[in-house]
Chains A and B, each alone.
Chain A
């Protein structure tokens, strides 16, 4: 899986948009970009993923650059409960029936997002 680079930490004011960048310059054509977050003392939580197109769900939006070498996770209206470590991961989804190794996620060090009141 391609390596990702994220800032170590970021602050965001409550109610404002939080924009979390991720560089994945060595991403290959069949690798997806996944975002997870880990709130203190909890397990990682899936947020969103995408391949080429921008994606949006009830939690966040994912903007992927045209060359796919970087992406941005956007939390449109950050709340105090969004304070967490955010992980950007790239992974080959493989086929419908793929080996267990293709299903594994390799976590980096992530970005500690602190939402300030």
Chain B
């Protein structure tokens, strides 16, 4: 009954490849997010998305694109992977209709680009 689940847990790939990370939440939330945690352990917001609005952190390269087939899913697609994309990526969700709704995070996808 995992609330926010990400797949795969580990992803090893070569430079230049295109890959996707999937995220699903079963909490009925309407807003989802992607965060990146680099080797120094800093967590940085990449995107927040609901059916009305996509907010993109201006530092995120356009090789990264979120794709949402429905409210329960927000997948992260990455084109032309680079060495610097190696990091742990976390998906999260919350409810914009619950005034104090905290964010619920998945357990991350560790991406290694070789």
Contact = CB atoms under 8 A, between A and B. Distances in A.
Interface of A: 32, 34, 36, 38, 41-46, 49, 85, 87, 93, 96-101, 103-107, 109
Q: How many interface residues does chain B have, given as a range?
A: 20 to 34
Given A98-B96, A99-B55, A103-B96, A42 B107 contact: yes
B107 to A, nearest CB: 5
B interface secondary structure, majority: strand
Interface of B: 4, 31, 33, 35, 41-45, 48-50, 53-55, 90, 92, 94, 96-97, 99-100, 102-108
A103 B48 contact: yes
Contact of A34 (B43, B97, B102, B105): B102
A109 B55 contact: no
A44 B105 contact: yes
Contacts of A32: 100
B42 A107 contact: yes
A87 B100 CA distance: 17
Contacts of A45: 105
A100 B41 contact: no
Contacts of B35: 107
Contacts of B100: 32, 49, 93
Nearest to A106: B45
Contact of A104 (B33, B41, B42, B108): B33
A85 B41 CA distance: 10
B96 A46 contact: no
B55 A100 contact: yes
B92 A43 contact: yes
